[in-house]
Amino acid sequence: MKKRFVMNILCLSFVLTVLTACGQEDKQGQEDQQRQQGVSKQSTRVIPMQPNGPPVRGNLAPDFTLQDLEGRTWSLAELKGKVVFINFWATWCAPCISELPSMKNLYNTLPKDQFAMLAILHNDEPNNAKGFVEKLDIPLPILLDTDNRVGMQYGLTGVPETFILDKKGIIREMHRGPAEWDSAEVIQLIKEYIEQE
């Protein structure tokens, strides 16, 4: 019995030694192949799909260019010098609909030469949005992110999500979920960003 146990241990050790050696030969072979191709271990690097990751408060907002429901092209870069309010929404999203009247009031309250509001339609049909906007008389531009490229740039996890940028295009506020955007506190906050140089 004892002999059999010792034999099993020896066999197991032999197998592990062979496997380890095979792994080292494979690794050595890969390194030799890289050297032959002129690629060193230090020079190889992984490039992430989204090198900057999702946006962070205090960082420059990702730039984008989108068309609105009327076919007009909007570029975020062209809005520098204004405080910009970006809201991702959809007609099928009840919380999005609930905050639209307060967004409309905020939009109508602040000076258009210093403040811009962009509502980006997410995962929805433009025709749904068009009828909806006409019915509720929403004056702000509705941008179409048909392939969700901008949503991905902004790390969108759902709707509504809102980003407020200062005049230099820096993200100052990020908010998930609906809000009362025409409250005195929000209006005062945005006015402070407008007054900053």
Angle between helix 126-136 and helix 94-109 axes, rounded to 10 deg: 50
**Cα-based distances in Å from 35 to 26, 27, 30, 60:** 14, 12, 9, 40
Model-level pTM?
Answer: 0.73
Select from 105, 71, 83 the least CA-distant residue to 168.
Answer: 83
Beta-carbon contacts of residue 107 (< 8 Å; ≥ 6 apart): 85, 115, 117, 139, 140
Note the maximum CA span of the chain.
Answer: 91
User: Residue 156 CA to chain centroid, in angstroms?
Assistant: 5
Element (H, E) at 131: helix 126-136
Rounded Cα gap, residues 95 and 100, in angstroms = 9
pLDDT tens for the 197 residues of the chain, in order: 544 544 444 444 443 343 333 333 343 444 444 434 433 333 332 223 334 567 789 999 999 999 999 999 999 999 999 999 999 999 999 999 999 999 999 999 999 999 999 999 999 999 999 988 888 899 999 999 999 999 999 999 999 999 999 999 999 999 999 999 999 999 999 999 999 97
Reading across the β-sheet that carries 65-68, which strands appear in turn? 73-75, 65-68, 142-144, 115-121, 83-89, 161-165, 171-176
Tokens read off for 187:
């209006």
